[in-house]
Structure 1
Amino acid sequence: MVEKLKDYFKKHLSSGPKAISAVMLVLAILTVVICSMRKTIIVSIDGKEQKITTLSSTYKSALSNNNIIVGPKDKAIPSLDSKVEKGAKLSIKKAVNVNVDADGKQLTIQSAEDSVEKMLEKEGIGLKEFDKVTPSKDAALKDGLKVAVVRVETKEIKETKPIDYATVVKKDDDMEQGTKKTVQEGQPGEKETISKVVYENGKEISRKLVSETVKKNPVEKIVAMGTVGVYTPSRGGKVTYKDSIRMRATAYTSSYADTGKGPGDAAFGITATGTVAKRNSNSYSSVAVDPRVIPLGTKLYIEGYGYAVAEDTGGAIKGNRIDVYFNSSSEAENWGVKWVNVYVVK
């Protein structure tokens, strides 16, 4: 610049001694002024330093004059609009590209912030207390970093739910086995529950029961189940019974050979219960039993024989044995010895 001024003065001003002296004085003053305006500063870009000399008054123009480009998201300390100080250091952090997945959006963000948290805050992506961030909020930014924000929300959900009723089965000795009847209809109860539900990005991930209050108790359903057995004899009809026993059956008569009593004996033909022994094919006949197995007076139905009453006992009738009565020895002999089902009549 000084040389250009010299050439200008030579062409346009007189070349006399005084004029030359004046020109030299002006040039000297200009040189001093220019030297005082020149400043050398250190520019650090991502830690890499370089020195530049500038006459610019602000850092922005100083960088521009030295072809140093600063992007809109780059971070400079001090501010680029501040006044250039001689020997000062200007630190520039270049913005990097960060991929952010948040609130259902895929964003590519340029940022020169120091951490993930500061970057999100700068971009207006606020975080609530329980939100999750990957990587961690204090992780440093780097080019190509992928950041995921998971919104975490907790709600208390109040619900009214039914309470199932129980079904109770009770035995009914007045109903046939295999039949049932509803005695009382069941009614569901009602309860109020409060659950703590956690959502991540709007999707439920956990549910924990906080409280449960019964508002209405359920009414149990009662079903009567028949216990009375039904036997259908080959001759027709049906026999209802409450128990059955498999027994060894023999036959006897009122004869002396069977009872040890003759026709002239006062006890001839009399059972242990004091009744007259009888065979009645259309009604109840007399049979001898072990009272420890079948109590005397019990009404029975004997397979192949018919209805009977336990009225008699016998010295040989012990345990699961029964002696059926016939009017004649021939009938008794025809009966012989056999295993039969004995039903205790209901």
Structure 2
Amino acid sequence: MVEKLKKYFSYGPKAIFVFVLIMLSVTVFIFNTRKTITVSIDNKKIEITTFRDTYRKALTANNIIVGPKDKASPSLDSKIKDKTKIVVKRAVDLTVKVDGKNLKVKSAERNVANMLKAEKIALKGLDRVYPSKNSEIKEGMKVAITRVESKVITEDKPISYSTVVNKDDGIEEGKKVVKQEGQDGKKSVSTRVIYENGKEVSRKIIKEIVTKKPTDKIVALGTLGVYRPSRGGDSIQYNKVLNMRATAYTSDYASTGKNPGDYDFGITATGTVARRSNSGYSSVAVDPRIIPLGTKLYIEGYGYAIAEDTGGAIKGNRIDLFFSSKSEVYNWGVRQVNVYILK
């Protein structure tokens, strides 16, 4: 019995040493694996102590759940270092209106552009986003995407012909004669059409090319006057009508200052013999500035005449009609008549 006790106590210091060594190792292990970290969740900070090696395990052990759309920095599977910080941003609910649908989305992305990329909602070149892509994501936000499409449509269109009206003194006044039929031309028109969410919102012509020129329609408009005597007879065509003060004269001395036998007695200013013709042209005196000599006329109540003579008193809008006798001169007197300048 004594021998056994001696033997036991001889190993005592060794056992104590081993025990102390084990406890020291455990203490070092605990000291090395024990870590204090700060968890920031939506700007609220929590300090926790953990023996876990990753942030995911540490948060789970402390009943801090990170949702699938929440974002953590550094990543949840990163190795923990003592006195470090992990930032968790909770995903918020928002609505994205796109392609005729209202999508319910949870996102913790920084802005609209990142959210759309994360949700695999692709934008094309002209598409518009409201609010802007740089807008910060907020709870309850409504994001609308307008699909914008631009198309260039090319089509043939007619070019209407023009109507050209030319005056023609060879056609009775008021009548129209088509000299040339018109034909429409043709042009190629390129139009840019803008669609928003499938609906046309604008169109603008960007190019026109004339492929066929139009042919003008040419119409002759008659300016030739036609006078129809009230007592019947042939119609009289004229270019112009003047309302004039008409007097009368004969070849006697009272009218011409000459007597039979005198030089140029009965001779007009154009060298013709003054005459009154019921079936042809009679001689009349005019102011050549108004009616040129040699002009053929028709005078209401008198008949056909030709401007062959002049007179000192015949100035301006006056005309002097030749008669064969004094009695006819007296009967005529002074009248306002229409004088037709014949074609």
TM-score band by shorter chain is 0.7 to 0.9
In the TM superposition, what whole-angstrom CA distance separates every residue of 1:208-263 from its partner, at most 9, and x where no partner exists? 52x43322222111111111112333323532211122322111122222122334
Unmatched runs of 5 consecutive residues or more in structure 2: 1-14
Give the Cα–Cα distance (whole angstroms) in 2 for the partners of residues 242 and 131 of structure 1.
Answer: 71
Number of residue pairs aligned between Structure 1 and Structure 2: 324
Is 1:63 the counterpart of 2:52 in the alignment?
no
Partner of 1:13: none
CA distance in 2, matches of 1:212, 1:162: 12
Q: Which residue of 2 aligns with 1:342?
A: 339
Question: Distance in 2 between the 1:60 and 1:44 partners?
Answer: 14
Out of 138, 142, 146, the residue aligned to residue 138 of structure 2 is 142
Measure the CA separation in 2 of the matches of 1:333 and 1:105.
Answer: 106
The answer as to 2:312 corresponding to 1:315 is yes
**Does residue 50 in structure 1 map to residue 46 in structure 2?**
yes
* Alignment-mate amino acid for residue 247 of structure 1: M
The two structures have a TM-score, normalised by structure 2, of: 0.81
What pairs with 1:77-156 in structure 2 (closer than 5 Å)?
A: 77-82=73-78, 85-156=81-152
Aligned to 1:251: 248
* Alignment partner of 1:298 out of 277, 295, 300: 295
Give the Å deviation of 1:113.
0.6
Q: Specify which of 158, 165, 172 is matched with residue 162 of structure 1.
A: 158
- Whether the 8 Å contact between 2:94 and 2:141 is mirrored in structure 1 is yes
User: Is it true that 1:277 corresponds to 2:274 in the alignment?
Assistant: yes
| 2:96 aligned partner, one-letter code | V
> 1:117, CA displacement in angstroms?
0.7
- CA deviation vs aligned residue, 1:56-114 (integer Å, no higher than 9, x gap): 56544543443333333111223335555554422210111223232333333211011
Once the two structures are superposed, residues 16-65 of structure 1 have per-residue CA deviations (whole angstroms, 9 ceiling, x without a partner) of: xxxxx9xxx8x979986778765443211012110233455654454344
**How much is the aligned-residue C-alpha RMSD, in angstroms?**
3.2
Pairwise mapping of residues 24-43 of structure 1 onto structure 2 (< 5 A)? 39-43=35-39
Query: Which shows bigger deviation, 113-122 or 253-262?
Result: 253-262
- The 8 Å contact of residues 179 and 226 in structure 1, kept in 2 or not, is answered as yes
- CA 1:295–1:36 in 2, change beyond 3 Å: closer, same or farther? closer
**Conserved? CA contact 1:199–1:206, under 8 Å:** no
- The 3-state SS of whatever aligns with 1:119 is helix
| Rounded Cα–Cα distance in structure 2 between residues aligned with 1:71 and 1:104 | 29
| Deviation string, structure 1 residues 172-202 (Cα, Å, up to 9, x no partner) | 1210111111111111222223444444444
Identity of aligned residues (%): 59
| Offset, 1:115 | 1.3
1:14 counterpart residue number: none
Amino acid at match of 2:333: G
Kindly provide the CA deviation profile for residues 264-309 of structure 1, in whole angstroms up to 9, marking residues without a partner as x: 4464433333433333344432211122322222111112322211
Contact 1:271 1:312 in 2 (8 A): yes
Tell me which moved more, 70-79 or 108-117.
70-79
One-letter identity of the residue aligned with 2:218: I
Query: CA contact under 8 A between 2:99 and 2:197: conserved in structure 1?
Result: yes
2:163·2:182 contact (CA, 8 Å) conserved in 1?
yes
Q: Is the 8 A contact 2:50 2:58 kept in 1?
A: yes
SS where residue 324 of structure 2 aligns?
coil
Matched-pair contact (CA < 8 Å) for 2:189–2:205: no
SS in 2 for 1:117: helix
Distance 1:295 1:208 in 2: 59
Match among 183, 188, 202 for residue 184 of structure 2 = 188
Structure 1 position 157, deviation (Å)? 3.2
Which of 257, 260, 265 is the equivalent residue of 1:260?
257
- 2:283 is equivalent to residue 286 of structure 1: yes
- How many Å separate the matches in 1 of 2:219 and 2:205? 37
Distance (Å, rounded) in 2 between the aligned partners of 1:297 and 1:182:
34
TM-score (norm 1): 0.81
Residue of structure 1 aligned with 2:325, choices 313, 323, 328: 328
SS in 1 for 2:307: strand
Secondary structure in 2 aligned to 1:110?
Answer: strand
